[in-house]
Structures are given as structure tokens and as C-alpha cells.
């Protein structure tokens, strides 16, 4: 785990670390990677990955409109809205 | 030195919005044109704690598509999270299918320049649509409308089997027709119901290896798709011929400037960190689901084209017109069901019906003349009850006022004069009244016959069968 | 009125009219007011709503329509969305978030007539084993205020342990019900994954998160579970199963996996072994066996939980809800500063770990490897349950530690060594008081096969009939 990797991870996850935080997190992540590397000792040759503990199929929902949207209730919890829209700084494509 | 002979290689990714009532993972209505954020429920907004539940109909539609293109259908498939930040993507990830798509390899058959081309489909997978960013209205802000978020999409990925912009357009048109025939998409391109991304590369003709490609995003009309690809091919050839290299990137097409330019802010997005969505379980494609999907596969454009040509004897151009839009084909077939001939039905639909619809700005599903009425009208011409000219009048009456063809013919006394005695009398009278023209005819001036036909038609108020008038006139003129 | 009464006794008191639900709520609200400045078990106390709910419960009881939970006060972990009541997940990110919907668990317990007194403290986004990462300050252990109540559901465990509420909800991702239950001397059940709906429960790691309950006894936990559990069409991972009922053979085979029992500190080991012997004395057989991949559970758990969390927490972007940075220069600035200020350090560490293990070049070595290890661990249990009916194990390596004592993240993660295996396998597991070490409660963990909660409840109930550890309460 080096600064360059951490920099890439913070950008991918849209985080930002103060210089002090970065120093600590870099050290912690090094230890965490060492911890998770302990599982490399397990022989998993030929073992199917287990994505989910439930041995069930995905249930399928009947195609019906069941949600009446009360926009005001959702907009009320948003930090910045106008004319029914959520606002973000200008996006340039 | 001769200019290099370049070959372009094109693959399309087509996003088809599935015409379900509700969203793919929520019970909110999937509808276009509602006021902003009035069709985005807690699940579509990615509110804390809410969870997706898969819409059965979206799965069924994907299966119907897969069966229609003879594709491999997965027995089980899976949903994954595709991670990236964007304001129109509420959860910060899109639920999509990465390595276990519902539909595997298949083939779409299309016609171009009278030849049939088979275009490979690599896969088709289900995913959720994103919302929309509105850039215009606020000075330095962008507005986010999440109504579209969660609308089911089927992303169809073609093999790089297309070679020209025209082929790419033909493929996009064929896909458009197919999904409309299947009833899985409304096909409204200007509402974004079908959007294409084009992967474009060029290589010297004869070279096996593919050149570096670019991806042009969000092409939502047949014309823009063709133009964008044509432009991009020219641009790439220009770059290569001036000694440069094509850079792998995502580009946007600007139809106003007719150019493509690189899209901003995509530099990190190659690392989407796909992983199985733990909120959703593996989807098992049961035999029940498959049977249901199969029952809803109708006759497809290519089969219809073959049938129209081989069984009905229609030309390629008639066939192309009639099968391009499933509603037109349905109208044509309903017209035929009344028992009229295929060729006159095709002609009427392509000429009179199409022109009238065009003038009124209607599409065929809103045609005021029902196919049963058109069929009857054509049958009456074929039976000699009315002339083609009178039929035009009757068509206009039905168009304007509605009503039933036979009732209109009777009420307005438009029935052709079919009493031979009466017609014979008029013919003899006309011949007797014009001795000069009779002489000309007998002297070999055949054209004069038209003059007599016109006179007879005028005398009968247009209600005579011109073929019958012809026969009677020739008899009368020779008899003298 | 006395604190620490059982739900059944409280129900009888209400039915007899010894006190009203309003009086019962008021009694507990007063206890909260007296103790919570110190304990910090609650993030929000919802007094007015509680009294309204109590009045409704009183009317219901008067009509003779009350059920076993009607009028019973409870607290919800602040991870469950409550319509109209702030739901913070102990994060600055959601400090002002008032959900426009109820979690299924909240709705079901409200429908059963419970009276919610407030929302309990926890580790931020349930990421922690001490309730120290809360934006609202650490919760404290009712047995020793200088010690942690465990985590992440530390507030719920502390509130029940201190007699501020008779029962509370919690969630368990890698031990977040069991470990605080052990630290606070209460009974806590993490049901089988899929038993309780996750709808409206703010996600940390979706394939591991499971809602459950704290109570003063196995019986009380069973009663609360009865109102929480069951299929929910809003949660694709919710199972359709018959309701949980206490059921177990008179004589069961109880496994003591060697990986869990060796290396325990002297007093802990003796205390736990005595508890196991008590089960033996009750007529069950103790069987030594092995769960060979136990040591790999913590690493695999932190990979999987981190990966899922990194995606689950992407929705906190300052746009539709939650904390938003002032005057962002551009979109990236909005995202980065909102998330930098809204999330605490532990949350950031987990997001970064998860992003790392999912990113190009590391996915196979970490994420997929962890899933394979997860399969191994599940197989360990499946094989074990061929031989034994239930497993008895410690919950944590030691009793409650002092606040601030475990300041290294990896050391904190290793606290979860005995709880993460059952989480990875999705199995039901319960912690119940079984003794004391140095004046601090110790918990015994019982783990069962999937959807066999009834067996754990039967064993636990039998244990609690023979012992009184669960009836010991902290002073003051």
C-alpha cells in the first residue's frame, strides 16, 4: 500500500483525506492489507466462490405500479433543490 | 503513392428501454414526460435502507428478445454493481449484469442493398437506466431529474460485424423493428427509448488485427448514428494518414457541428469494480418463464419479408415498406383479411393511406380508415362495383366522416353502371353523335378511343367500369 | 414499578391495569433521563411520540385487542429508518436525515403495539466493535462507565443492560448484536440471514447484515423476534419460513469447536467452560470438534464487508439527502468534501479497503478469494452440523474493554474472531450471559444451523432456567 495506490483509491471512492489523516490511513491500510492477506494461506483450489449465504432464487415482482411518489416528501430531505430538481454544480460532459 | 484502402469495423451497443409498467427494481411508474422527480420513489432515489426487487416482466421481455434472435439463454443469471459516481446515478452504482448476462450469443438478420446480412449479437443484459441531467436552466448548476432512473434497459451488444455507416444504420433500424415487433419497446427514438453506442475502428483492408477503437456514446437517431460513425471513420483515417495514432476513448457526437469530441471526466471510469449485487439473488430462468416468453414471440420482420415476397408475390420495396413498422404490417394484414388482393392493398397503403396520414400528421395506429374498410373498398373495385376513381372519393368520405364503405356507395349512388343494356345505349349514342371522330378511328387513329371513353364516362357520371366501356366502344366502332 | 421486569410480567401488569402503557413509558423515559447523560446509549429520545404510541396501546388494551408486545417500551438502533424521526446511523452524514418511510422491522414492531422510546447509539454505519466511532460520542457500558458497551449495537445493549428499556432492536453484520450483548450482560440474537427483513435498515454489508433483538432473557428475545421476523416482499433476500418456535430435543449434541476454545484467557475459559458444563448437566452431550477455517474468517469478513460497504456508501454524495459541503467549486469537490466531512475515519478506512479489494488487479486475489474462503467456512459448519445439533462458543476474546483501549483498527477487527464465522455462513447465533470475569459480564454464544433459531432459543431458555446470570443487573 503506497501513497499512489491510496491516491487512486480516494479518487475512485470520492473521498478526501487531510495530510494527517492520509498519513494515518496509509499506515492503517498497510496493516489491514496484512490482515486480509492472512486468508491467502487457505487452500481454495477448486472452491466455488460464495457470493451470498442464502441458497435461494431471486423472487420476481409482478409488473404493477405500487409506489405513488409524493415528490415533496423526498425533496424535503434534500440539501438543495429548485423547481422539483436536485441541484449539483455544473456538469460538463 | 496510392492512398491506403481503409476498412472500418463497427460494433453497436443498443440500449433498449423495456416497455414495462413499473421500474425494473421498484414499483414506481416507468413513464416518459412526467414532471421532474414525480416518478422516482425511494428505491429509484437510492434512499438509505431501501432495496431492489426484480420486475418479472423485464425478465420475460429480455427472454422474448433472446428467443427471437435464436440466442443462448442462461439458465441462471446474476446482477452486479457497476460502481461510478455521477449525479444521475443515485446509488453511486448501476445495477447491471457483468459476466452472467441473461441472453448470450445470437444473430440478427437484416437486409441491405437487396442482400441479407447476419449480424452477430454477443450478448444482451438487463440493467437499470440512469436519470437525466438538465444543463440549460440554471447558470452554474445542473438540475437532476431521476424519473428515468430505474427504467429497465436491455443492452444489446453486437459483434463488430458491421463495416459501413450504412450497415450500422440498417442494423439499428432492424433492431428497432425487432423490438417493436416483440412489443418490448415503444421505439420512440426522440424520447430516448432506444440509444446506441458505436465502437468504431479502422484498419488497412486485408489486415486481420483490429485497429484501436473509440466509443461514440448516446446516438439516438438513425441519421445521427450514420453521420457520427461516418465522421468518426474519416477522423480516424485522417489521424492515421497524418502519422498519428487513434486513442482509445469515449466520444460524443455533436450533430450541429457534425463532429465527435472526447467526453470529459472518463479517465478513472475504466475501473468499475463490478461485483455481484448482494441485495439480489441469482435469477433462475424457469421453464415456465421461458414458455411464457416463447409464446410472446411473434412473426419477426425477416420472416414476414420472406412470406410477403414468396407467398404474396410482393416486390422487395413493397415488402420493405410494409414490414418496417409492425403497426403498418398489422394494418396490411388486417386489410388482407377481408379478402382483397395483396398487391392492390400494398399499393393503397403505400400511396393513398401513407399520403393521407402524412398530411394529417398521424401514424397508422391512428388511421381514421380502419383496415376492414380499406379491404372492402379494394374488394369493391375488384368486383367492378366501383371504379378506382370513385374508390378514392369513398376513401376520403370514410376518412373525413367515418361510416361503412358499402353504405356510402349506396347512399351516394356511386355504384358503377353495370347494366349492359343501359351502357350499350349510351355508347351507341356517343358514337352516333361524333361521326368525325368515328372516321378518324376507322382510319387507324387508335388514340381517339380515349376521347370516346371520356365521353361515355362523363355521360355515366363516372360510374361505368372503364374496361367494360372499352369493350363496348370497340364493338360499336367496328360495327358501323 | 420495577426495572428489569420481563416482557411477560409487564404484559400481565398492563392487562391487569396495575399501570398503563403511558405510565410504563414514562417510567422508562425517566430512567433514560436520569442515566443517559452518562451512558449515551441514545442518540434521540422520542418522548412525545412515545407517549402518543403508549396512549394508542392503552386504548388497544382497553378494547381487549392487545398482543404480547402491546404497550411494551423498546428502543430501535439508529440504523432502522423511522418515518418522521431522525435516523442518523451515528454519522455526521445523516445527522439531520429524517426518513420519509419506516423500516419493515419498525413498522412490524409498531403494529405489534410496542412503544418506541428512542433511537440508540452505535458505531458509525455499524462499523466498529465498541460504539466508539459514533459521531455523537461513545456509548458506555452500564457495568463500568469507563468501558465500551461493545458494538456496533452498543447503545441498544447498554440501554437494555441498564434497564432503560425492556428490549431493543439491533443489527449484526460480524457480531454487532452478540458482542455488545455479551459486554452488557444481556441476551442478544442474530437470526439466520433472511429471517428478518432488511428493508429500511441502513445497509453496511448487504450479504451479512441481519436485524435482531436484545432482551433480558431468551424468552423476551423470542417474543420480540416473533414480531420482527417473516417474509417481506420489499426485500429480495427475505426468506419465506414458518415462524420461529422454541423447539429442541431433550438431549442434544453440543459442539465445542477447538478453534474457539483453545487459547482463552484463564478466567474467561473457566467461566465459559462452566457454562458448557451446565448444558451438559441439563442432559446434553458436549462434543469436541473442529471448524478448521475459523482463523480465516476475520480476513475474509473484512474483505467482503468492506467491498459491499464501499458500494453501499456511495449513495451518500450530498445530492439527495445527507450532509453537503458548502460552496463546492465543482461536482468532484461537492462529492469529496461532503464525504470527507460526513464520514468518520473508520468509515473511510472501510470504504478504501473495499475499493482496494474490488479494483482492477486485486479482485481475484482479495474479493474472489474471500468468497472462496467464505464457502470453506460455510462448509465447515455444514459438516459440523452433521455431527452436532448446536455449537457453543465464546462471543469475544475477553469481557468489555476500556474506552480507547483498542486504538489499532486491526486489533479491533480481531475482536470479531468468534462472531464473524457465523456471519459469513449466514447462521443464527445468540449470546447470553453466563458469568462474570473481574466484575464484567461474559457471554456464551450458541450457533445453530440455518433457520434453526428455535433450537438456540430452547437451549438458551433451558440454560436460563438453571442459572441466574441473566438476572444480575448493574447497580445505579
- Which helix (H) or strand (E) is B336 found in, with range? helix B326-336
Shortest Cα–Cα distance, B45 to chain C (Å)? 8
- In chain C, how many domains are there? 1
Q: For chain A, give the percent of residues with pLDDT over 90.
A: 96
Kindly state whether residue B1 falls inside one of the protein's structural domains. Answer: no
Query: What number of CA atoms fall less than 13 Å from residue B210's CA on the CB side?
Result: 15
Best mutation target, A27, A30, A32, A73, to test chain C (most C CBs within 10 A): A32
pLDDT at residue B23 is higher than 70:
yes
- Which helix (H) or strand (E) is B202 found in, with range? strand B194-204
Contact list in C for residue A15 (CB cut-off 8 A) is 336, 339-340, 343, 348, 351-352
- In chain B, how many domains are there? 3
Do B363 and B220 have their domain in common? no
Could you tell me which chain A residue has the CA closest to the CA of C297? A39
**pLDDT score, position B267:** 53
Kindly state whether residue C307 falls inside one of the protein's structural domains. Answer: no
Kindly state whether residue B165 falls inside one of the protein's structural domains. Answer: yes
Kindly state whether residue C94 falls inside one of the protein's structural domains. Answer: yes
Kindly state whether residue C374 falls inside one of the protein's structural domains. Answer: no
Q: What share of chain B is helix, strand, coil (3-state, %, to 5)?
A: 40, 20, 40
Domain end (from B411, B429, B452): B411
Contact across the interface for A32 and C413, Cβ inside 8 Å: yes
Kindly state whether residue B464 falls inside one of the protein's structural domains. Answer: yes
Contact list in B for residue A54 (CB cut-off 8 A) is 281
Domain end (from B276, B292, B308): B292
CATH number at residue C245: 3.90.1300.10
CATH number at residue B469: 1.10.10.410
Neighbours, chain C (3 or more CB pairs < 8 A): A, B
Kindly state whether residue C309 falls inside one of the protein's structural domains. Answer: no
Q: Is B37 on the interface with C (CB under 8 A)?
A: no
pLDDT at residue B283 is higher than 80:
yes
The distance from CA C1 to its chain's CA centroid, rounded to whole angstroms, is 28
Size of interface B-C (CB pairs under 8 A): 103
Kindly state whether residue C196 falls inside one of the protein's structural domains. Answer: yes
The string of pLDDT tens digits covering residues A22-43 is 999 999 999 999 999 999 999 9
Do B331 and B356 have their domain in common? yes
C-beta of residue C449 within 8 angstroms of C-beta of residue C387: no
- Which helix (H) or strand (E) is C254 found in, with range? strand C253-257
C-beta of residue B390 within 8 angstroms of C-beta of residue B462: yes
**pLDDT score, position C248:** 82
Contact list in A for residue C319 (CB cut-off 8 A) is 78-79, 86, 88
Contact across the interface for C310 and B49, Cβ inside 8 Å: no
Mean pLDDT over each residue of chain C, to the nearest integer: 97
Q: How confident is the model at residue B265 (pLDDT cuts 50, 70, 90)?
A: low
Range of the domain at C209: 7-249+431-471
Q: What is the mean pLDDT of residues B64-69?
A: 97
Q: For chain C, give the percent of residues with pLDDT over 90.
A: 97
**pLDDT score, position B410:** 86
Do B182 and B243 have their domain in common? yes
- DSSP, collapsed to helix, strand or coil, labels residue C102 as coil
Contact across the interface for C409 and A42, Cβ inside 8 Å: no
A residues 5..34 contacting C (CB < 8 A): 5-6, 8-10, 12-17, 21, 24-25, 28-29, 31-34
Contact across the interface for A89 and C233, Cβ inside 8 Å: no
Q: Is A66 on the interface with C (CB under 8 A)?
A: no
Contact across the interface for C199 and B90, Cβ inside 8 Å: no
The string of pLDDT tens digits covering residues B155-168 is 999 999 999 999 99
Do B102 and B131 have their domain in common? yes
Domain end (from B411, B428, B445): B411
Do B278 and B401 have their domain in common? no
Do B253 and B274 have their domain in common? yes
Q: How many beta carbons lie within 10 A of that of residue B298, not counting itself?
A: 15
Backbone angle region of C426, left / alpha / beta, with phi > 0 → left and psi within -120 to 50 → alpha: left
**pLDDT score, position B2:** 53
CA distance C78 to C87: 6
C-beta of residue C185 within 8 angstroms of C-beta of residue C149: no
Kindly state whether residue C104 falls inside one of the protein's structural domains. Answer: yes
Kindly state whether residue C402 falls inside one of the protein's structural domains. Answer: no
CA distance B80 to A51: 11
Low-confidence ranges of chain A (pLDDT < 70): 93
B residues 249..308 contacting C (CB < 8 A): 270-271, 273-275, 277-281
Kindly state whether residue C396 falls inside one of the protein's structural domains. Answer: no
Contact across the interface for B273 and C321, Cβ inside 8 Å: no
Do B102 and B232 have their domain in common? yes
Do B179 and B156 have their domain in common? yes
* Active-site residue set of C: 77, 152, 176
The string of pLDDT tens digits covering residues B129-158 is 999 999 876 778 999 999 999 999 999 999
Do B10 and B122 have their domain in common? yes
Do B405 and B315 have their domain in common? yes
Contact across the interface for B134 and A85, Cβ inside 8 Å: yes
Kindly state whether residue B123 falls inside one of the protein's structural domains. Answer: yes
Low-confidence ranges of chain C (pLDDT < 70): 476
Contact across the interface for B85 and C335, Cβ inside 8 Å: yes
ipTM score for this prediction: 0.97
Do B148 and B217 have their domain in common? yes
What does the angle CA C456 – CA C458 – CA C459 come to, to the nearest 5 degrees?
65
Kindly state whether residue B344 falls inside one of the protein's structural domains. Answer: yes
Mean pLDDT over each residue of chain B, to the nearest integer: 92
Cβ burial of A20 (10 Å; 0-12, 13-18, 19+) is: exposed
CA distance B187 to B178: 10
Range of the domain at B393: 299-411
Q: For chain C, give the percent of residues with pLDDT over 70.
A: 100
pLDDT at residue B396 is higher than 80:
yes
Do B328 and B430 have their domain in common? no
Amino acid at each position: 500500500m503506497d501513497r499512489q495506490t491510496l491516491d487512486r483509491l480516494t479518487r475512485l471512492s470520492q473521498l478526501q483525506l487531510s495530510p494527517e489523516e492520509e498519513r494515518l490511513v496509509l499506515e492503517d491500510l498497510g496493516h489491514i492489507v496484512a490482515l486480509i492477506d492472512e486468508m491467502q494461506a487457505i487452500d481454495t483450489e477448486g472452491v466455488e466462490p460464495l457470493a451470498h449465504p442464502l441458497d435461494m432464487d431471486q423472487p420476481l415482482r409482478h409488473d404493477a405500479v405500487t409506489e405513488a411518489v409524493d415528490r415533496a416528501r423526498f425533496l424535503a430531505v434534500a440539501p438543495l433543490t429548485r423547481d422539483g430538481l436536485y441541484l449539483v454544480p455544473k456538469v460538463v460532459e | 503513392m496510392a492512398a491506403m484502402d481503409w476498412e472500418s469495423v463497427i460494433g453497436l451497443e443498443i440500449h433498449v428501454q423495456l416497455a414495462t409498467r413499473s421500474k425494473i427494481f421498484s414499483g414506481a411508474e416507468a413513464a416518459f414526460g412526467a414532471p421532474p422527480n414525480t416518478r422516482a420513489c425511494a428505491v429509484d432515489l437510492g434512499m438509505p435502507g431501501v432495496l431492489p426487487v426484480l420486475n418479472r416482466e423485464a425478465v420475460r421481455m429480455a427472454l422474448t428478445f433472446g428467443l427471437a434472435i435464436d440466442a443462448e439463454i442462461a439458465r441462471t443469471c446474476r446482477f452486479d454493481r457497476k460502481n461510478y459516481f455521477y449525479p444521475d446515478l443515485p446509488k453511486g452504482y448501476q445495477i447491471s449484469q457483468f459476466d452472467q448476462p441473461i441472453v448470450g450469443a445470437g444473430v440478427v438478420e437484416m437486409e441491405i442493398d437487396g442482400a441479407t446480412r447476419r449480424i452477430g449479437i454477443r450478448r444482451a443484459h438487463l440493467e437499470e437506466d440512469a436519470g437525466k441531467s438538465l444543463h440549460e436552466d440554471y447558470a452554474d448548476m445542473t438540475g437532476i431529474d431521476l424519473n428515468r432512473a430505474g427504467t429497465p434497459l436491455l443492452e444489446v451488444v453486437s459483434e463488430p460485424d458491421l463495416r459501413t455507416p450504412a450497415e450500422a444504420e440498417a442494423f439499428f433500424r432492424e433492431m428497432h423493428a425487432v423490438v417493436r415487433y416483440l412489443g418490448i419497446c415503444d421505439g420512440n427514438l426522440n424520447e430516448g427509448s432506444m440509444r446506441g453506442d458505436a465502437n468504431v475502428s479502422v484498419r488497412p483492408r486485408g489486415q486481420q488485427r483490429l485497429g484501436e477503437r473509440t466509443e461514440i456514446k448516446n446516438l439516438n437517431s438513425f441519421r445521427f448514428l450514420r453521420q457520427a460513425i461516418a465522421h468518426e471513420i474519416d477522423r480516424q483515417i485522417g489521424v492515421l494518414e497524418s502519422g498519428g495514432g487513434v486513442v482509445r476513448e469515449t466520444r460524443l457526437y455533436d450533430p450541429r457541428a457534425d463532429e465527435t469530441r472526447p467526453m470529459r471526466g472518463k479517465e478513472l471510469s475504466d475501473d468499475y469494480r463490478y461485483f455481484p449485487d448482494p441485495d439480489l439473488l441469482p435469477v433462475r430462468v424457469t421453464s415456465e418463464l421461458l414458455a411464457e416468453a416463447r409464446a410472446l414471440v411473434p412473426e419477426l420482420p425477416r420472416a414476414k419479408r420472406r412470406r410477403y415476397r414468396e407467398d404474396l408475390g410482393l416486390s422487395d420495396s413493397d415488402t420493405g415498406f410494409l414490414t418496417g413498422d409492425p403497426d403498418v404490417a398489422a394494418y396490411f394484414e388486417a386489410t388482407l383479411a377481408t379478402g382483397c388482393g395483396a398487391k392492390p392493398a400494398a399499393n393503397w397503403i403505400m400511396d393513398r393511406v401513407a399520403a393521407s396520414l402524412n398530411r394529417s400528421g398521424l401514424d397508422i395506429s391512428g388511421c381514421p380508415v380502419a383496415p376492414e374498410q380499406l379491404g372492402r373498398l379494394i374488394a369493391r373495385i375488384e368486383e367492378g362495383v366501383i371504379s378506382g376513381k370513385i374508390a378514392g372519393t369513398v376513401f376520403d368520405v370514410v376518412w373525413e366522416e367515418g361510416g361503412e364503405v358499402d353504405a356510402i356507395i349506396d347512399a351516394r349512388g356511386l355504384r358503377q353502371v353495370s347494366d349492359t343494356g343501359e351502357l350499350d345505349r349510351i355508347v351507341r349514342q356517343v358514337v352516333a353523335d361524333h361521326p368525325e371522330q368515328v372516321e378518324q378511328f376507322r382510319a387507324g387513329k387508335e388514340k381517339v378511343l380515349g376521347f370516346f371513353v371520356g365521353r361515355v364516362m362523363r355521360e355515366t357520371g363516372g360510374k361505368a367500369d372503364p374496361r367494360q366501356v372499352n369493350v363496348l366502344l370497340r364493338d360499336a366502332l367496328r360495327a358501323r | 414499578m420495577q426495572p428489569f421486569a420481563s416482557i411477560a410480567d409487564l404484559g400481565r401488569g398492563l392487562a391487569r391495569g396495575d399501570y398503563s402503557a403511558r405510565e410504563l413509558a414514562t417510567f422508562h423515559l425517566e430512567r433514560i433521563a436520569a442515566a443517559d447523560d452518562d451512558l449515551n446509549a441514545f442518540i434521540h429520545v422520542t418522548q412525545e411520540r412515545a407517549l402518543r404510541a403508549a396512549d394508542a396501546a392503552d386504548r388497544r388494551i382497553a378494547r381487549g385487542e392487545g398482543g404480547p408486545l402491546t404497550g411494551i417500551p423498546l428502543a430501535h438502533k439508529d440504523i432502522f429508518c423511522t418515518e418522521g424521526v431522525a435516523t442518523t446511523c451515528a454519522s455526521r452524514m445523516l445527522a439531520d436525515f429524517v426518513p420519509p418511510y419506516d423500516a419493515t422491522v419498525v413498522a412490524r414492531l409498531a403494529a405489534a403495539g410496542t412503544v418506541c422510546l428512542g433511537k440508540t447509539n452505535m458505531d458509525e454505519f455499524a462499523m466498529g466493535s465498541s460504539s466508539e466511532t459514533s459521531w455523537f460520542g461513545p456509548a458506555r457500558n452500564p457495568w463500568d462507565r469507563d468501558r465500551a458497551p461493545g458494538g456496533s449495537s452498543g447503545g441498544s445493549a447498554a440501554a437494555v443492560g441498564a434497564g432503560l428499556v425492556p428490549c431493543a432492536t439491533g443489527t449484526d453484520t460480524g457480531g454487532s448484536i452478540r458482542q455488545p450483548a455479551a459486554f452488557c450482560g444481556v441476551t442478544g440474537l442474530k437470526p439466520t440471514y433472511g429471517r428478518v427483513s432488511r428493508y429500511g435498515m441502513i445497509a453496511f454489508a448487504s450479504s451479512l447484515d441481519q436485524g435482531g433483538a436484545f432482551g433480558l432473557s431468551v424468552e423476551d428475545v423470542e417474543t420480540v423476534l416473533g414480531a420482527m421476523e417473516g417474509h417481506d416482499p420489499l426485500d429480495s433476500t427475505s426468506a419465506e419460513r414458518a415462524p420461529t418456535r422454541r423447539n429442541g430435543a431433550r438431549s442434544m449434541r453440543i459442539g465445542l469447536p477447538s478453534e474457539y476454545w483453545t487459547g482463552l484467557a484463564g478466567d474467561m475459559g473457566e467461566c465459559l467452560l462452566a457454562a458448557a458444563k451446565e448444558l451438559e448437566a441439563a442432559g446434553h452431550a458436549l462434543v469436541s470438534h473442529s471448524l478448521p477455517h475459523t482463523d480465516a474468517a476475520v480476513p475474509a469478513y473484512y474483505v467482503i464487508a468492506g467491498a459491499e460497504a464501499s458500494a453501499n456508501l456511495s449513495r451518500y454524495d450530498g445530492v439527495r439527502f445527507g450532509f453537503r459541503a458548502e460552496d463546492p467549486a465543482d461536482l468532484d469537490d461537492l462529492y469529496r468534501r461532503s464525504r470527507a466531512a460526513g464520514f468518520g475515519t473508520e468509515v473511510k478506512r472501510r470504504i478504501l479497503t473495499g475499493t482496494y479489494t474490488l479494483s482492477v488487479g486485486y479482485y481475484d486475489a482479495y474479493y474472489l478469494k474471500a468468497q472462496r474462503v467464505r464457502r470453506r467456512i460455510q462448509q465447515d459448519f455444514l459438516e459440523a452440523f452433521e455431527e452436532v445439533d448446536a455449537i457453543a462458543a465464546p462471543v469475544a476474546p475477553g469481557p468489555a474493554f476500556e474506552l480507547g483501549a483498542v486504538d489499532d483498527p486491526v486489533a479491533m477487527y480481531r475482536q470479531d474472531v468468534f462472531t464473524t464465522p457465523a456471519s459469513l455462513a449466514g447462521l443464527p447465533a445468540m449470546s447470553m450471559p453466563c458469568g462474570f470475569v473481574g466484575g464484567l459480564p461474559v457471554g456464551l454464544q450458541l450457533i445453530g444451523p440455518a433457520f434453526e433459531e428455535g433450537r438456540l432459543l430452547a437451549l438458551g431458555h433451558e440454560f436460563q432456567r438453571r442459572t441466574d446470570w441473566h438476572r444480575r443487573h448493574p447497580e445505579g
